A and B are shown apart, each in its own frame.
Chain A
């Protein structure tokens, strides 16, 4: 039932994303463009098929990816305040992206890259996020307190940000501007030709997370109980590392360091489904995350003639949820 409502919501929002945008197009005209499907047909065809369509797909998949990766992190670290951006994984990806872009001709502009260049950017983002994840897992062996681990994650995030700042300082004004724009976040960064790579990577990550539903449930009991129930901790941890790495880095490379969705959405999903059973909340996260991604994107393009930065919207949804989680923990 809840899945059906979310599914219908996702479809409605998906089409709203195609019909609404900064350029006003008559709904009947949008329908004609969609049914004829000819991206080279004219400027309006290009706007709907070459811009709005990939943007809507990206918004859905990125929302799903960030929500699932936040959920995996919260289960792995058994910490409700874990998330890809707060633990510095996003900025790790950002650092990877920045480094690769510098090597690709000293520019931080992602728009000018070929498909091969995109693969390099993706690999850079993946390497960056995996490095941070590995570091965090290492820290989690020593730092038994969850709070300490969060602080270590935030510090790691600052450190990678400082490297990025230094890189920015030594690059041209033009690339600083494009890097700043990237940093504001946008679901509009994936073109129609890049959409297959992006979708493939995200769907691969989501698929891997679905495979881990049983061990994830057992991990909720804590490491010792999980080991006693036959979980191969090292294997599961490595798989978690790779999955979260793929999901976070792909989204970060294409859409920028999107904040708060990964941190806040898993809580909303648990509230909607009233369970911690991953067999429910992983599919639930994919749908709910997608709905929120589409919703945020709609808010970004709603004002006429301009597009709001994504990271200006996501905290408005995220911060109240995080505060609610902190306050409800206090009550217990």
Chain B
């Protein structure tokens, strides 16, 4: 049985509107993301990955069409409901002084806490399990600014888990990390999707790792638009080659891997 569709796009057109002119980036995209799926969005810079991600996460409104999450149109949600539906992890390295890991993860409970933001025992339990799932419970009292970049992204992922949303969107979460940390973060995301039944959608430039760990892949560029499939499907249809093959880059159809030729 197929898993249930959590995110559904209907004729989704993304882009920018300036005055009367429109810059269309994604044209009438109708697709879905399923429960327990770890999906990567791959494509060169300037393909519009961020715009698509921002639209899916409700940061900007679509030029046309709809994004439905668990059956509800994003544009009809108030900020609090949206915050309980979608959580994000971003590339930006936030400068936070004098805050420990536990307190930051606790901020993920903001959409549920009352006027003063006090955590009740249930909130604490959720924070605790978010830290356990991301393997950061032993650094709970450490100051966030003392963490390595990889550890810091784990804390932001724990924050997203504490938000208890069915969907987590990540915008190039591994951009500034060293190789082992990139692998570690993506393994963590793949595991969270599988074990916690989260729908996880991530844009990234780390093609190699993403191809190996994602359940499905969205390819995106200006010329070809969006193509969606599993690693195998995209290899066999030649889509991966179409999107990424350049002079100097080779592609092995057997393994579906890129190499420097």
The interface of chain A, by Cβ under 8 A from chain B, is 78, 80, 213-214, 217-218, 220-222, 224-225, 227-232, 270, 274-277, 279, 332
For residue B261, CB closer than 8 A to chain A, the reply is: no
From B82, B92, B99, B111, give the contact of A277 (CB < 8 A). Answer: B99
8 pairs, A vs B, C-beta closer than 8 Å: A214-B110, A214-B113, A221-B107, A229-B111, A230-B82, A231-B79, A277-B99, A279-B117
Contact between B79 and A230, CB atoms less than 8 A apart: yes
Interface string of B91-105 (1 = CB under 8 A from A): 010111111000110
In the bound assembly, the distance between CA atoms of A222 and B89 in angstroms comes to 12
Enumerate B56-95 residues with CB–CB distance to A below 8 Å: 57, 59, 79-80, 82-84, 86-88, 90, 92, 94-95
Enumerate B145-184 residues with CB–CB distance to A below 8 Å: 145, 159, 163
Contact between B117 and A221, CB atoms less than 8 A apart: no
Contact between B110 and A220, CB atoms less than 8 A apart: no
Minimum-distance CB pairs A-B, first 5: A230-B83, A214-B117, A276-B98, A229-B110, A230-B79
Residues of B within 8 A of A332 (CB): 145
Interface string of B29-57 (1 = CB under 8 A from A): 00000000000000000000000000001
Contact between B107 and A217, CB atoms less than 8 A apart: yes
5 more A-B residue pairs beyond the given contacts A224-B88, A275-B103, A276-B99, with a C-beta to C-beta distance below 8 A:
A218-B110, A222-B92, A230-B111, A276-B98, A277-B99
The SS class assigned to the B binding surface is loop
For residue B259, CB closer than 8 A to chain A, the reply is: no
For residue B115, CB closer than 8 A to chain A, the reply is: yes
Chain B residue, CB-CB nearest to A223: B92
In the bound assembly, the distance between CA atoms of A277 and B116 in angstroms comes to 11
Residues of A within 8 A of B97 (CB): 80, 270, 276
Residues of A within 8 A of B90 (CB): 222, 224-225
In the bound assembly, the distance between CA atoms of A220 and B95 in angstroms comes to 8
Min CB gap A273→B, angstroms: 8
Interface string of B245-257 (1 = CB under 8 A from A): 0000000000000
In the bound assembly, the distance between CA atoms of A224 and B103 in angstroms comes to 18
Contact between A214 and B115, CB atoms less than 8 A apart: yes
Contact between B108 and A229, CB atoms less than 8 A apart: yes
From A213, A227, A229, A274, give the contact of B107 (CB < 8 A). Answer: A229
From B94, B98, B111, B117, give the contact of A275 (CB < 8 A). Answer: B98
* Chain B count of residues within 8 A CB distance of the other chain: 31
Residues of B within 8 A of A218 (CB): 107, 110, 117
Residues of B within 8 A of A221 (CB): 94, 96, 104, 107
Contact between B110 and A230, CB atoms less than 8 A apart: yes
Min CB gap B240→A, angstroms: 31
Residues of B within 8 A of A224 (CB): 59, 88, 90, 92
In the bound assembly, the distance between CA atoms of A77 and B120 in angstroms comes to 30
Min CB gap A175→B, angstroms: 44
Residues of B within 8 A of A232 (CB): 79
From A78, A213, A225, A228, give the contact of B117 (CB < 8 A). Answer: A213
Chain A residue, CB-CB nearest to B80: A230
Residues of B within 8 A of A276 (CB): 96-99
Min CB gap B74→A, angstroms: 12
Contact between A222 and B94, CB atoms less than 8 A apart: yes
Contact between B83 and A228, CB atoms less than 8 A apart: yes
Residues of B within 8 A of A220 (CB): 94, 96, 99, 107
Interface string of B101-132 (1 = CB under 8 A from A): 00110011011010111000000000000000
Residues of A within 8 A of B104 (CB): 221
Chain A residue, CB-CB nearest to B89: A225
Task: With A218-B107, A221-B107, A228-B86 as known contacts, state yes or no: A275 contacts B99, CB within 8 Å.
Answer: yes
Task: With A217-B107, A230-B80, A230-B110 as known contacts, state yes or no: A225 contacts B94, CB within 8 Å.
Answer: yes
Residues of A within 8 A of B84 (CB): 230
Most buried by B among A220, A231, A232: A220
From B88, B98, B99, B115, give the contact of A225 (CB < 8 A). Answer: B88
In the bound assembly, the distance between CA atoms of A217 and B82 in angstroms comes to 19
Residues of A within 8 A of B79 (CB): 227, 230-232
In the bound assembly, the distance between CA atoms of A214 and B109 in angstroms comes to 11
Min CB gap B96→A, angstroms: 6
Min CB gap A329→B, angstroms: 9
Residues of A within 8 A of B113 (CB): 214
Contact between A274 and B83, CB atoms less than 8 A apart: no
Min CB gap B204→A, angstroms: 18
Contact between A229 and B116, CB atoms less than 8 A apart: no
Min CB gap A67→B, angstroms: 16
In the bound assembly, the distance between CA atoms of A228 and B107 in angstroms comes to 11
Contact between B98 and A228, CB atoms less than 8 A apart: no
Most buried by B among A228, A232, A277: A228
In the bound assembly, the distance between CA atoms of A279 and B84 in angstroms comes to 23
